[in-house]
Structures are given as C-alpha cells and as structure tokens.
Structure 1
Amino acid sequence: MRECISIHIGQAGVQMGNACWELYCLEHGLQPNGIISETAEQTDSSFGTFFSETGAGKYVPRAVFIDLEPTVIGEIRTGTYRSLFHPEQLITGKEDAANNYARGHYTVGKQIIDVVLDKTRKLTDQCSGLQGFLVFHSFGGGTGSGFTSLLMQNLSVDYGKKSKLEFSEDAMQVLRSVDLPVEPPFPTLVLKV
C-alpha cells in the first residue's frame, strides 16, 4: 500500500483541509461519518492512500489538523464532518501566534511540536508503505509560516527522504482583505527566498 499523511496547519491549512476531505469523501462515496454510502460503487485499494479503515468498517482520514488557537479547528469539531476525524488528530494550542513567524516557530509552536510529532508518528506507524506527507498551510500568519517551518525541520530529521509536498496559500491574498500591521513585510521575504 502507498499511504500519504496530510498535515493541515493554521487557519488556511485547516480550511483547505476541510474542502479537501469533503471532496475526498464525495469522490470515494463516504458519508460525513466515514461509512461507505450504500449507493457508492465498489471500492478499490486506492482508498488506503488517504484513509485507514477501523475494525467497525469506518474510514478515518490519514490526517492531522494543527492550529495554535482553537477557533478554526473548533469548527471541525462541530461541523458536518465532525465524526469523520479522530479527536486525537485535531490539535490546538491555547493562544495564537499573532501573525508572527517567531511566535509560531520559537515560542508558542515549541509548546505543541512534541504532541504533533507524536500524533504524526502514530499515523505513520499504521502505514505499511508511507510515501510521504502533504502539508497544507499559508505563507502568512505565525502558525502557517513559523510552525510549518518548525514542523518541516522535524519531519526532515525523523522521516529523511520521504516526500514532503507543500500546498501553500498566497499570503498576499490575505493582505488585500485584512489589515494586519505585523504581517506585510514577512510574505515579501518568504516569496523572495
């Protein structure tokens, strides 16, 4: 089997994750609770790439959702797909990174990195042929930028040559709609690097 672990980081990553998992469920004929719809066509082995099957026949995403503040992940916990995800896969901190890379990487992010790595390790242990990681995040914000950087460093150490694909939201879109005085210089630096 060739499995991929999806990691959704920060508000943008979590919101992208909501959309992705809704589509994955529709494509595979899964109901919002992870049970195969009676009208779904026969499944094949590709199901195992993104989902693991429980003993009860429920499919659970091979995914971790992370945000340093609980609001956006709270929407998953109360939303339509709340029964799809295992509660341990939804990781939140107590305070946000205030759109500050340093807080996401060095201070607030450091407080939850071990928990995130542990939950990720548990998911990888369930894989027989881990191909790599799909990482969803934003270039802006403290969690999307700073915490993602911290996590990617750790994944490179722990999982060496496993693939790590990043799906990143353009921070400049955020800047057009939100007035955040601490964020504007950072996306420019990231995009130039």
Structure 2
Amino acid sequence: MPSDKQTQDDTSFSTFFSETGAGRHVPRAVMVDLEPTVIDEIRTGTYKQLFHPEQLITGKEDAANNYARGHYTIGKEIIDLVLDRVRRLSDNCSGLQGFLIFHSFGGGTGSGFTSLLMERLSVDYGKKSKLEFSIYPAPQVSTAVVEPYNSILTTHTTLEHSDCAFMVDNEAIYDICRRNLDVERPSYTNLNRLISQVVSSITASLRFDGALNVDLTEFQTNLVPYPRIHFPLATYSPVISAEKVIVVSLFS
C-alpha cells in the first residue's frame, strides 16, 4: 500500500504531467510559435525527450511583430491545429480546471495569436478559468518599435477573456538579475529561471495540499476584486545569488 505522503506526491505531480502507456511523464502543455526557430531549440535541446512531438507546434513564417498577422492571417492558419492539441490534452484530464497561458505582450505571436487563442478558448471552454503569465515590454529593453501598439491591442483581449493575469516587466527582471543576482549581462536562461521561480510559487497551491487557492477558480475569487480588474501584483523574496547564500550561511 502506498503511504499518504507518496499518494499526495503522485497526485501533485499529475496536476501538470500525464503518464503515458510506456510509463513516461509528459507535461500537459502545448508550445506554439508561428516560426520554428525557438521551438526547434526544444526539439533538439536537453529536454527533447520530455515533450511529445505533437505538443510542439510551429508555423512556417513569423508574425513580424505585427498583431494583425498573428491574429487575422498567419495565426488563423494554425489555430485549429492548436485547439485540436488542446482538446486532446483536456480529454486526458480527469477534472479540467482551466488553462495557464504564457506569452509576451510585445511580439506579433505573443499578442495577436494569443488573443485569437483566448477568444477561441472562451468559446470552446466557456466556464473554464484562464490564468495568464504575461511579459510586458519596457522601453529600455525593446526589440521592436511597435511593441506599444501590440500591447494595447492585446490588453483588450486580456480584459475580456482572462480571469487573472500576472504581469512580468522585462526591465524589472533584467534589473533584478543585475542587482540581486550579480549577473552583469543576463541571458534568457537567467530571466526564465527567475520567472519560473515565481510561477512555481504561485502554482504551488495547485500542486500540493493547502487551505488557499486550491484550484484555478479560487485564484479569481481570492485575488480579483472586480472581473475587469484582474491584474494582481506578484512579489517574491529573497532574490539573492548563490555566492551570497554561502556568505550568509557562513556568518549565521
């Protein structure tokens, strides 16, 4: 007989992973990009064995930092395939609570295609919660001059079709890496690891037993005062480098 702790660990693990017939655990995730470069890094990288190939979806050309291309033209060619993959994953869930959506506000795919996806999810899964983790552009760390336009256009969809949105500011993440982690030139790996720590903390209540925010609906109930004002501020501390941890442990 498995112990209570073992049963709890198995349950918490299966929240975000499903077990295949071969006994492998696969993330309940679909990764989408309108051009293949970034997702090809996953296909050939360290974690290529972790994801099912059907869950990594790419188009042939990117949205060129253009909201309209991501929403109305290039994005429309791939949306049905994405929704089919989402449907397959949701059919494998014993109790689907909702969706966690990770995207940027500044890019053409992150703004335009995500807006289209959220609109379609609202139609197909009307009562299911949608939580966003969004990367908001900053003037000091900008890759395209049209980022403000993309952000404004996708914010409308965020207001209407998202239940709770956690914003991450690009510039703030860079500053934390430089100031707190002593990383002079932060890479995307540094930024993503920092963001993943915050996301892990936010979703811990979904994966482990607790009294608060035990499902996605409770996030909205506890954090959102009014449906359209659903942008809680995420704070996380302490953020210190490994070297500082060693120094503190030596003198404590």
TM-score normalised by the chain length of structure 2: 0.56
Secondary structure in structure 2 of the residue aligned to 1:74: helix
Q: Which has the higher contact order (CA 8 A, sep 6+)?
A: 1
Structure 1 vs Structure 2: percent identity of aligned residues?
A: 73
Alpha-carbon separation, structure 2, partners of 1:186 and 1:76 = 26
1:106-164 per-residue CA deviation (whole Å, 9 max, x = no partner) reads 00000000000000000001011001100000111110000000000000000011010
Secondary structure in structure 2 of the residue aligned to 1:130: coil
Let me know the Cα RMSD of the aligned residues.
1.9
Aligned position for 1:55: 21
TM-score normalised by the chain length of structure 1: 0.73
Matched, 1:119 2:85: yes
Alpha-carbon separation, structure 2, partners of 1:176 and 1:66 = 27
Structure (1 or 2) with the greater strand fraction:
1
Aligned position for 2:176: none
Q: 1:180 aligns with which of 144, 152, 177?
A: 144
Alpha-carbon separation, structure 2, partners of 1:164 and 1:46 = 20
1:33-74 per-residue CA deviation (whole Å, 9 max, x = no partner) reads xxxxxxxx9442111110000122110000000000000100
Matched, 1:65 2:34: no
Alpha-carbon separation, structure 2, partners of 1:108 and 1:184 = 21
CA contact (8 A) 2:115 2:154 kept: no
Aligned position for 1:100: 66
Alpha-carbon separation, structure 1, partners of 2:22 and 2:11 = 18
CA contact (8 A) 2:71 2:112 kept: yes
Alpha-carbon separation, structure 2, partners of 1:185 and 1:149 = 14
Aligned position for 2:109: 143
4+ long deviations beyond 3 Å: 188-193
Q: How many residues align?
A: 151
Alpha-carbon separation, structure 2, partners of 1:132 and 1:165 = 8
- Quick check: which has more Rg, 1 or 2? 2
Q: How does 1:1-80 map to 2 (within 5 A)?
A: 42=6, 43-80=9-46
Structure 2 vs 1, CA of residues 70 and 80 (structure 1 numbering), >3 Å: closer, same or farther? same
Alpha-carbon separation, structure 1, partners of 2:155 and 2:32 = 23
Structure 2 vs 1, CA of residues 76 and 153 (structure 1 numbering), >3 Å: closer, same or farther? same
CA contact (8 A) 2:112 2:154 kept: no
Alpha-carbon separation, structure 2, partners of 1:44 and 1:171 = 38
Secondary structure in structure 2 of the residue aligned to 1:99: coil
What code does the residue aligned with 1:161 have? K
Which 5+ residue runs of structure 2 have no aligned equivalent? 160-252
Structure 2 vs 1, CA of residues 187 and 48 (structure 1 numbering), >3 Å: closer, same or farther? same
